[in-house]
Chain A
Amino acid sequence: MATLESPPPGTSSSAMRNAFGTVLSALILLLIGVLAFSIRLFSVIKYESVIHEFDPYFNYRVTQFLSKNGIYEFWNWFDDRTWYPLGRVIGGTVYPGLTLTAGTIWWALNAINIPLSVETVCVFTAPVFSAFASWATYLLTKEVKGSGAGLAAAALLAMVPSYISRSVAGSYDNEAVAIFALIFTFYLYIKTLNTGSLFYATLNAIAYFYMVCSWGGYTFIINLIPMHVLLCIVTGRYSPRLYIAYAPLVVLGTLLAALVPVVGFNAVLTSEHFASFLVFIIIHVVALVYYIKGILSPKMFKVAVTLVVSIGLVVCLIVVAVLVALVASSPTGGWSGRSLSLLDPTYASKYIPIIASVSEHQPPTWPSYFMDINVLAFLVPAGIIACFSPLSDASSFVVLYIVMSVYFSGVMVRLMLVLAPAACIMSGIALSQAFDVFTASIKYQLGRSANSKDDAEDNTSTNNAPKDDSSSGKTDKGEEVAKERSSKKGKKKEREPADKPSVKSKIAKKRALVLPLEASIVALLLLIMLGAFYVIHCVWAAAEAYSAPSIVLTSQSRDGLHVFDDFRESYAWLSHNTDVDDKVASWWDYGYQTTAMANRTVIVDNNTWNNTHIATVGTAMSSPEKAAWEIFNSLDVKYVLVVFGGLIGYPSDDINKFLWMVRIGGGVFPHIKEADYLRDGNYRIDSEATPTMLNCLMYKLSYYRFVETDGKGYDRVRRTEIGKKNFKLTHFEEVFTSHHWMVRIYKLKPQKNRIRGRAKKLKLKTSSGLDSKAAKKNPWI
């Protein structure tokens, strides 16, 4: 501010330029926010304002509960509508960040009398937070490579398909806010690293706390940051700033994380967090070493080092031995299943079918990379190179970030989401650097042709200097910010004039980067085309690929748009025409939706915390009718819901998921064998299918009276005629089938009145027996 009030004569124009630049970038940021928000509205425009898919319905239900009953009730909420008869302690098992965020937004809006429904708030939480996320990306990239790169990265992130897939309007899931929290935490870490300010370090711990509240992916942060710290120490980049960036984060962050009920003591007990504590110890040792090095003379220092190293090694060995023993004593080595499958990609498919059965836990394919990050995949290497010239603490962090996230995304397709911001930051840096080089050389070439008659070497450099200052400011930002220690707000404004002296020294270096005019222009055009291609792809992905809410399906045919709204039809039927305490059994995929939309108690749901319970339902589905009826009856189930796509060709129905039910059921109840359901290793439902398959409950409930629709029983998903066509149900009765047969609901028939029936039979038998006996015996009497 001081610069604006008393401008030195030479800098008045550049101060104006700075002010203009600030306003311009603020405007661009605002537009990026609007873009990020509005590109996610395709789902609302093309479909409707509705919660999507499965998990969002649970979050929506929790938010409804929160807004109705308040925060204290929420923490103590024991949900008896799910996992019957076990129930679930929601307050203690859910990451509360998303629900608390939406609940707070709802509460604030209602406090100023804006009567938005909870549903509306939930639907639009994700788009709002993606705008925040793109602003956080701007801040992070700005810390790394300056505001030009920041703007480019923010624009890229605003529409990266991978992130859109999890944050379209209605996709009310943890990731929606967690990605913002992730990027913002990284930004604050880098900011602390660059400034060494305890203020930012504290903010960083709070941002980390928000991330812990929001998503289980917080372990990525608490492992990545220690790795970076370790990297810095190993490469000899230790500084007090690094200490301030790291030590408070571990102490405060761990304390705060332990406050979240779902994490609790896991924050200090599980292996995911050990790396951070180890590095915490290391950084203290290193800090001590640096301190002692400063006090002692080099000779004394050498002596001390040998002494400490010999003692330290012994202590370290003991500690490591104890740790190893502790970790080894727990069955999974202290690692949770999902984390283990991260380290060993084959772990899940070997040991935990329930994790492997979820499609988003599968490794991604190459096309999915192109689908989800598109041209960024090509720009990332350029960004990495740009990060190495020059390598600063901040740029080494983003390099580490992209390397780690590429690895993790290769393990689990869901973690593509973590890769997306890193790819955007890298590509933003690459694009911005490329633009700098090309525009600078165009300017230089044009300037040279204009001044070609004068020799004026110095003139060109002075002409170029003010124009180039923003770009050169970026390249040496690493060194320059390192000089700034104060975090007061006056600093920002002082930074630009402070660049001045270094700019001129850099000009000579710049000269080496000058390219021919034609080449620069062509390259610029190509870059713009690449960007345009990216934008087109992103808009297509947002509009076509990721906007479908999956509870309502549409198909375009010659006579117009067909809407398949069967799921909601059946949920509405359940909620209005069954008793409020009836229990509904279905495969776990539909658990969240049934509780949220139909408000009925379910046996299992998408929170797959109890494998045995899920296996019980899987076993019932794969058992013959009588056995299934007994299992369901023992669970108080009154209705069984199956999803059947055979009539209209909806591929993700229960018959296609059936093998997972068999596997998960067989994992706990060994009498269910996968081989019984396969004919020569093939899964089929036609006349070649095994008798076990044709007699299991799932087959029967799916195909009951299906043959009457077309006379043949042609299944449009499996593209075959079904094996067993005419059969009757003895223990179940059909109570509802939706319009396109996608959802079929059966009721368990009440138990036969056995006592009376038996007594009658018994009486008949005994009487007849007596008669016959009497007839035989009585002649003597």
Chain B
Amino acid sequence: MAARNWIFAVAVFLSLSTFSSAQDLQIVNAERRIDLSSHIVKAFLTLKVENIGKDPAADMLLAFPPTQIKNLAMVQALAVMGKKKKKNYLPLDVKPSEQPDAPNDAGYFLVSFATPLGPGETVTLEVLYILTHSLEPFPVEITQSESQLVYYRDSAVVLSPYRIKQQTTFFKTPSTRVESFTSVEPANRAGKEIKYGAYEDRVPYSYAPVIVHFENNSPFAVVEELVREIEISHWGSLQITENYRLTHGGARHKGVFSRVEYQSRRSISGSSSFNALLAVLPPRVNSVYYRDDIGNISTSHLRTGFKKSELEFEPRYPLFGGWKATFIIGYRVPLEDYLFEAPDGRRYLNFTFGCPLVETIVNKLTLKVVLPEGSKDPSAVLPFAVNQDLQVKYSYLDIVGRTVVVLQKDNVVPTHNVPFQVYYTFKPIYMLAEPLMLVSAFFFVFVTSLAYVHIDLNIVKK
């Protein structure tokens, strides 16, 4: 497989009519650095784009091969403004885009420039895209003493609908152990870095598949499903409950698990397994618990700080490839840090999206914001697209139920840990409903018992 060093260079479908803008732009220089050191693949792409057409161009396309588009967790683009010393970055709007006759099912993202690019002008873009599930373990099954080798498949040249004058690609591997990599001249390896290029003047949709086979023993912590529930209590706290279903997404464990080897020869035994996880929690967190279906898990440490708290914890057992574990983390934070009143009188919750575990992929994230009973008109504001839904939840002594804003997103990476807001209206008088209910219930009990004691039900007067 590794010997597939044929080049599949294609220049397909150069239909001038549909890609009018494509021909108006060209990429003068592309530099791509792909970081393979963890199981989340981060690619940093620096593009120097020039408008060679006659009309100003308002946007440009980024193309991704179909194998990557489904694993693409996030694409961000920045425009570089100013020169070296006073460089600053301007975030650009990036959204997925459909092109009717995309070659070979390539996927696209449309980057809108801050100001339309006039003829002859150039702009430098910094693009970050993140790929998940893109490291394929090979061999697929390993024993306890073997270390984990993975394939990464990509192209030596940047897939682009534009002509690229000059480009280079760097792959950064976690260790110096690289079994093999496809050679596309000029390509060479130095230490932890494999360099492809520089390649001159490639036509649009050039593609040169490469496979890098290397060692990666970083924890492949994949949360298959995470349900975070944020319960707002206007009595002064936010209660957050997080249900994790964690798995080791790397090469499957094969055969025996020997505790004696795991304990005595930790460095060479089970090097791809992981045992410790780190969750970054909000700063003033309290009442933290860590448990699963069958009780507390006693291996955790909490460090609270001014900027963040860190919860260091271990699953019940070390996770080897393919092993699964479930657990629940719950904590409470003071309300005043996260709940504010908007100028229009509505209240809004400002909280962090995403998964608190560091360097973790979440396949399916469901975030439920439980608003207090009596809240109306909920609306969520997020910087990226998620599925939204409303539910009703009945909790302690509820009568009408609490509105739950459900936000659901697949393929979440740590870069998604950005603030989001949920707006709603709430009358403080509702806070008193449940205490009053309790008071009246007790009152009723005492009145009835009083009445019962004072009524003589005897037929015969004694």
Q: Which residues of A contact B (CB under 8 A)?
A: 1-2, 48, 50, 112-115, 486, 488-490, 494, 551-552, 563, 565, 568-573, 576-577, 597, 705, 708-709, 733-739, 741
A735 adjacent to B294 (CB under 8 Å): no
B462 adjacent to A736 (CB under 8 Å): no
Closest residue on chain B to residue A736 by CB atoms: B257
B323 adjacent to A490 (CB under 8 Å): no
A552 adjacent to B256 (CB under 8 Å): no
Query: Which listed residue, B258, B317, B399, touches A734 by the CB 8 Å rule?
Result: B258
Contact indicator per residue, chain B 2-33, by CB within 8 Å of chain A (1) or not (0): 00000000000000000000000000000000
Query: Which listed residue, A48, A565, A577, touches B323 by the CB 8 Å rule?
Result: A577
- A140 to nearest B CB, angstroms? 24
Max count, chain A CB within 10 A of own CB: residue among B255, B295, B326, B458: B295
B258 adjacent to A113 (CB under 8 Å): no
- B242 to nearest A CB, angstroms? 17
B298 adjacent to A563 (CB under 8 Å): yes
A709 adjacent to B260 (CB under 8 Å): yes
Chain B interface, >50% SS class: loop
Q: How long is the Cα–Cα vector from A737 to B258 in the complex, in angstroms?
A: 7
B89 within 8 A of A: no
B296 adjacent to A50 (CB under 8 Å): yes
A565 adjacent to B398 (CB under 8 Å): no
A734 adjacent to B256 (CB under 8 Å): yes
Query: Which listed residue, A50, A114, A489, A735, touches B257 by the CB 8 Å rule?
Result: A735
Closest residue on chain A to residue B456 by CB atoms: A1
B307 within 8 A of A: no
Q: Which stretch from B158-166, B377-385, B389-397 is at the chain A interface?
A: B389-397
**10 tightest CB-CB pairs across the interface, nearest first?**
A737-B259, A50-B295, A576-B324, A563-B298, A569-B316, A113-B394, A48-B296, A572-B316, A708-B260, A597-B294
B104 within 8 A of A: no
Q: How long is the Cα–Cα vector from A597 to B263 in the complex, in angstroms?
A: 26
Closest residue on chain B to residue A554 by CB atoms: B298
A576 adjacent to B325 (CB under 8 Å): yes
- A568 to nearest B CB, angstroms? 5
A113 adjacent to B294 (CB under 8 Å): no
B462 adjacent to A113 (CB under 8 Å): no
Contacts of B398 in A (CB 8 A): 113
B190 within 8 A of A: no
Closest residue on chain B to residue A48 by CB atoms: B296
Q: How long is the Cα–Cα vector from A298 to B398 in the complex, in angstroms?
A: 74
A576 adjacent to B297 (CB under 8 Å): no
- A107 to nearest B CB, angstroms? 14
B259 adjacent to A568 (CB under 8 Å): no
B259 adjacent to A115 (CB under 8 Å): no
| Given A1-B456, A577-B324: A708 in contact with B296 (beta carbons within 8 A) | no
B298 adjacent to A705 (CB under 8 Å): no
Closest residue on chain A to residue B322 by CB atoms: A577
Contacts of A739 in B (CB 8 A): 259, 317
A565 adjacent to B264 (CB under 8 Å): no
B255 adjacent to A733 (CB under 8 Å): yes
Contacts of A572 in B (CB 8 A): 292, 294, 316-317, 325
B257 adjacent to A734 (CB under 8 Å): yes
B316 adjacent to A565 (CB under 8 Å): yes
Q: How long is the Cα–Cα vector from A50 to B291 in the complex, in angstroms?
A: 11
B453 within 8 A of A: yes
| Given A113-B397, A114-B396, A738-B317: A565 in contact with B257 (beta carbons within 8 A) | no
Contacts of B296 in A (CB 8 A): 48, 50
A490 adjacent to B462 (CB under 8 Å): yes
Closest residue on chain A to residue B296 by CB atoms: A48
Contacts of B295 in A (CB 8 A): 48, 50, 551-552, 568
Contacts of B325 in A (CB 8 A): 572, 576
B87 within 8 A of A: no
Q: How long is the Cα–Cα vector from A736 to B257 in the complex, in angstroms?
A: 6
Query: Which listed residue, A569, A708, A709, touches B317 by the CB 8 Å rule?
Result: A569
- B322 to nearest A CB, angstroms? 8
Query: Which listed residue, A50, A488, A573, A705, touches B316 by the CB 8 Å rule?
Result: A573
- A513 to nearest B CB, angstroms? 35
Q: How long is the Cα–Cα vector from A194 to B454 in the complex, in angstroms?
A: 26
Contacts of A50 in B (CB 8 A): 294-296
A705 adjacent to B394 (CB under 8 Å): no
Contacts of A577 in B (CB 8 A): 322-324
Contacts of A568 in B (CB 8 A): 294-295, 316
A494 adjacent to B294 (CB under 8 Å): no
Q: How long is the Cα–Cα vector from A735 to B298 in the complex, in angstroms?
A: 23
Contacts of B454 in A (CB 8 A): 1
Interface pairs (28), CB distance under 8 Å: A1-B453, A2-B456, A50-B295, A112-B397, A114-B396, A114-B397, A488-B457, A494-B462, A552-B298, A563-B298, A565-B297, A568-B295, A571-B294, A572-B316, A573-B316, A573-B323, A576-B326, A597-B294, A708-B264, A709-B264, A733-B255, A734-B256, A734-B259, A736-B257, A736-B259, A737-B258, A738-B317, A739-B259
Q: How long is the Cα–Cα vector from A734 to B458 in the complex, in angstroms?
A: 76
B259 adjacent to A738 (CB under 8 Å): yes
Contact indicator per residue, chain B 315-329, by CB within 8 Å of chain A (1) or not (0): 011000011111000
Contacts of B399 in A (CB 8 A): 113
